[in-house]
Structure 1
Amino acid sequence: MNIRGLFPSFEDAAQFHGHVCPGLAIGYRVGTTAMQLLGVERPRDEELVAVVENDTCAVDAIQVVTSCTFGKGNLIFKDYGKGGFSFFSRDKGKGIRLRYRDFPSLSGDDGARMEQLKSKIHFERCATEAERAEYDGLRQRLIHKILTCKIDELLDWLPLTEEPPAPARIRPSVVCDHCGEHVMETRIKTLDGRNFCIPCAEHANK
């Protein structure tokens, strides 16, 4: 799936992620929808910022689609465990937050069966080969639905009035007095006048 050639394809996202799954499909729709609603293209630098509230498969698709990455400083992770994703266009001064909905209309009766099979495969570890094949088929059907459904069946969104996160800054490094490794100065912990990296500070406080 490639929306009119405007974005990397879903296959590109799958190649980056390593496999195809419903979460990746959700992230693909989130990323493409956010960029369309904001009227922006993939940035070369930090013109677009993504703030993700989970560390699911969806985030890998968002990185591929939006070119927001940890290395560029325009992908920010907030460990909320929520299905929310915010995007800010610095150039346009606009922001939007998207969240995925419960979509029983997409999974239908398949949803309950998928949960049964998922439990047998991943938790009880007693699924037969036939059950695994059935699960894979149901999952592929759900992925197709996610990629092709009307977007308002899958996502809700609202504009944001808050300012985007501050641009990433390159910070000097400081040497940890315990392990001798270089640490970004903003991550240094000072204990009794000595500089510690976070792991060494946690160990010292035990």
Structure 2
Amino acid sequence: MDYDEIIAFHGHSCPGTALGYMVGKIVAERFGRSEDEEIVAIVENDSCSVDAVQCMTGCTFGKGNLIFRDHGKHVYTFFNRKSGDGIRIALKKPLDQLMKESGVTERSEMTERILEMDPYELFDVRDVSEKLPDEARIYGSVICAECGEPVSEHRARVRNGRIVCIPCFNR
């Protein structure tokens, strides 16, 4: 997949999409691309980079093989379910430090710089041997007694003996 396809999916080019693209290159080299759920990604941020990671790796929220952990870090961990192998990819330096060291002031310039770099200059990559995340499960739906909308049964709550969705439960 080339970077233009990432831009088409995400909507614009920026340092975040470039970082995610480079993460994807490392994963492709190590595991290939996930056609179904054989590769699992755990992303620790919700930046533009994650859109590029989805495109490059085939890991998506809908398939359950893209897991978000809100740690605010450019850290990406991948597992291959078939082999059990895992890698952790962590940005070495903050983006503003990379910009300063590169002598660039514009984000568009930094994007180009990132795309020209060797991914291993940007990221620390190490093997990990953690427990693999569970495979995605399919749950049935129940109807919320307050709003009448279907809600996945594992997310439903009980209040006053009635099944309700999370938004209604929190009101």
Task: Provide TM-score, normalisation by structure 1.
Answer: 0.77
* Residue of structure 1 in register with 2:12 after alignment: 19
1:109 Cα offset (Å): 6.0
User: Does 2:130 correspond to 1:165?
Assistant: no
Secondary structure of 2:40 counterpart: strand
Give the root-mean-square deviation of aligned CA atoms.
Answer: 1.6
Structure 2: give runs of 5+ residues left out of the alignment. none
* Residue of structure 2 in register with 1:131 after alignment: none
1:142 Cα offset (Å): 1.4
1:73 Cα offset (Å): 1.1
Q: 1:178 aligns with which of 140, 146, 161?
A: 146
Pairing 1:10-159 to 2, within 5 Å after superposition: 10-36=3-29, 38=30, 40-102=31-93, 104=97, 107-108=100-101, 110=103, 114=105, 138-159=106-127
Aligned-partner Cα distance in 2 for 1:71–1:106 = 34
CA offsets 1:91-140 (integer angstroms, 9 cap, x no match): 111111111121646642635xx3xxxxxxxxxxxxxxxxxxxxxxx323
Structure 1: give runs of 5+ residues left out of the alignment. 1-7, 115-137
1:17 Cα offset (Å): 0.5
* Residues paired across the two proteins, number: 169
1:192 Cα offset (Å): 2.2
The code of the aligned residue for 1:21 comes to C
The code of the aligned residue for 2:26 comes to T
8 A Cα contact 2:20 2:53, kept in partner: yes
Percentage of pairs with the same residue: 44
CA offsets 1:150-190 (integer angstroms, 9 cap, x no match): 22320012211112211111101011111111110110111
Closer/same/farther in 2, CA of residues 188 and 105 from structure 1, 3 Å limit: closer
The code of the aligned residue for 1:201 comes to F
Task: Provide TM-score, normalisation by structure 2.
Answer: 0.92
Closer/same/farther in 2, CA of residues 68 and 109 from structure 1, 3 Å limit: closer
